[in-house]
Structure 1
Amino acid sequence: MLARTVITRRGRRFRGYFPSHKMGRMVAWESLLERDAILLLECSRGVVFYREQPTLIEYADDERLGMYYPDFEVTREDGGLLHLEIKTSAELAKPEVESRFRAIAAHYRRQQRDFRIATEREIQREPLLTNARTLAYVAGRTGNSLPSARVLASKIGYDALPFVDAEAQLGRELVIRLIAGGTLTCDLTLPLAGNTPVAIAMGGHHAAYLL
């Protein structure tokens, strides 16, 4: 159960729900930047679970007690937990906001818990965000008809090859579906095209974090 009702009718910000293939449910977001962050969480192979506004954090702020709800709690492949805040760089530049999050970050350090703030500079990098949108679109439609890694290796081998060569042998749609399904891996900060290396996912290739 969430510690806070996420979607409200107050304010003028965009709000909505994202159909998460990874979580198997609708995930609430309260800004377009949060929605974009969800796309990166969906595509991060090292992220096994995430949830929005998971719990209330109480922290000391100039001898006062502050209350804070992190935007996301992320469970990593190694079992570690991260609380993630999504803010625009313009908002973070406001003195009162910067002061508040300095106190919040200090609280997490004292508790020896992982916390970070992600802005549009990390979230909306290109071509990363476009790639994440492309993969999220097909993630729920990968189906059971995708070739296994063994069958795939008989066609393209286990060594990395340029995206353009994989596309020529398998077709672009299948390559995209295989990346979305985790059978193929590539650096999503590079274009899904041209000479970007593509390989069959093996072990540690899955432990990737895009945020």
Structure 2
Amino acid sequence: MSRNKRSLPDELNAKGSIKPARKVVHRSPHRSVGILACSWIQDHGIEYESQLERRFLQQTLVLPSIKRVIYQPFRLEYVEDERSLTYVPDFYLLFRDGTKVVIEVKPRKFLQKHLHKLTEAQRLLEEHETPFLVLTEKEIDHGIKVSNASYLLRFARDSPNEQAKQRCLRILSAFPKGLRIDELTKEAAVSEKDILHLVGRAGLSVDLSKPITKSTCVRIPKEHQNGYLHFIDWFNSAPGHAIAGISKSSK
């Protein structure tokens, strides 16, 4: 792999929009492509090229620790069978505390085919102190979190109601353990839609591992000291775990 740091994501901290490192395929009979809008996080939408990537993004965008998401952020050079090749990771995530991670979203059935490329990417990024994570349908589609995230994003895209937000925060500040959605609507004189909007934009938090109902408990979000650690805990993952898993199974 190239040792040239200019190809690594450190320079992605610069302000402004960044074009993908390769042309995004917008029309294909084999891919589901689109753009997810997230104006409360950044001023441009995030492209995806598969439904698995879309489901990953939906969960990522409701996390309170996320600051920025860049699709296909840079190229890495590597050698395989004496051929010089390039690899473009799927996502680069920057968290509010300054931590970061590079993400590859890949169906498990394709891991073996791309094992060398992913292993080389992990090695180079680790040398530059940039975590690399491979997520498959096992991590992304686990439990009810993906459907909850999709549901909340419908409300997150609504226009904000600053007065409703301030009333909710004021009431919840007196209830460290939180209130049920139906209780908060009465106490703060807001609608359920207002509450779900705030949860979708990470202004309030709920337990996304359970179905969202009127009895769901709502709290003021906790400050996460390490956004990256919160992220891998959310996806029940660890750096290189998918690569290590496929490596062992191939022996």
Q: TM-score, normalised by structure 2?
A: 0.71
Query: What letter corresponds to residue 68 of structure 2 in structure 1?
Result: F
Aligned counterpart, 1:39: 58
Q: Does 1:131 align with 2:148?
A: yes
Q: Are the equivalent residues in 2 in contact too, given 1:50–1:73 (CA < 8 A)?
A: yes
1:19 matches 2:19 = no
Q: For residues 122 and 9 of structure 1, do their structure 2 counterparts lie closer, same or farther at Cα, with a shift above 3 Å needed?
A: same
- Give how far 1:72 is off: 0.5
Which stretches in structure 2 are left out of the alignment for 5+ residues? 1-18, 236-251
> Distance between the aligned counterparts of 1:154 and 1:18, measured in 2?
31
For residues 219 and 86 of structure 2, what CA distance do their matches in structure 1 show?
45
Match of 1:5 among 23, 33, 44: 23
Check 1:205–1:160 CA distance in 2 against 1; reply closer, same or farther (3 A cut).
Answer: farther
Q: How far has the Cα of 1:204 moved from its partner? A: 3.6
Equivalent pair of 2:156/2:198 in contact (CA under 8 Å)? no
Query: Using the alignment, how far apart are the partners of 1:105 and 1:25 within structure 2?
Result: 28
Is the alpha carbon distance of 1:81 and 1:60 closer, same or farther for their aligned partners in structure 2, counting shifts above 3 Å? farther
Sequence identity, in percent?
22
| Cα deviation digits, residues 144-164 of structure 1 (max 9, x gap) | 344244x33554533223535
Q: TM-score normalized by structure 1?
A: 0.83
User: How far apart are 1:177 and its partner, in Å?
Assistant: 1.9
Q: How many Å apart are 1:119 and its aligned residue?
A: 0.9
Cα distance in 1 between the residues matched to 2:93 and 2:83 = 28
Equivalent of 1:159 in 166, 176, 180:
176
**1:59–1:23 distance in 2 versus 1, CA, 3 Å:** same
Q: Which amino acid aligns with 1:176?
A: L
The question of whether the paired residues in 1 share the 8 Å contact of 2:62 and 2:202 is answered with no
Is the Cα contact below 8 Å between 2:156 and 2:196 reproduced in 1? no
Letter in 2 for 1:18: L
Larger strand percent: 1
Structure 2 equivalent of residue 77 of structure 1: 96
Q: How does 1:115-194 map to 2 (within 5 A)?
A: 115-149=132-166, 151-152=167-168, 155-156=171-172, 157-161=174-178, 163=180, 165-166=182-183, 169=186, 171-193=191-213
Cα distance change of structure 1 residues 152 and 11 upon mapping to structure 2, 3 Å threshold: closer
Given the superposition, is the C-alpha separation of residues 203 and 101 from structure 1 closer, same or farther in structure 2, using an over 3 Å criterion? closer
Indicate the larger mover: 56-65 or 172-181: 56-65
* Structure 1 pair 153–136 and aligned structure 2 pair: CA distance change class (3 A): closer
Aligned CA-pair RMSD:
2.7
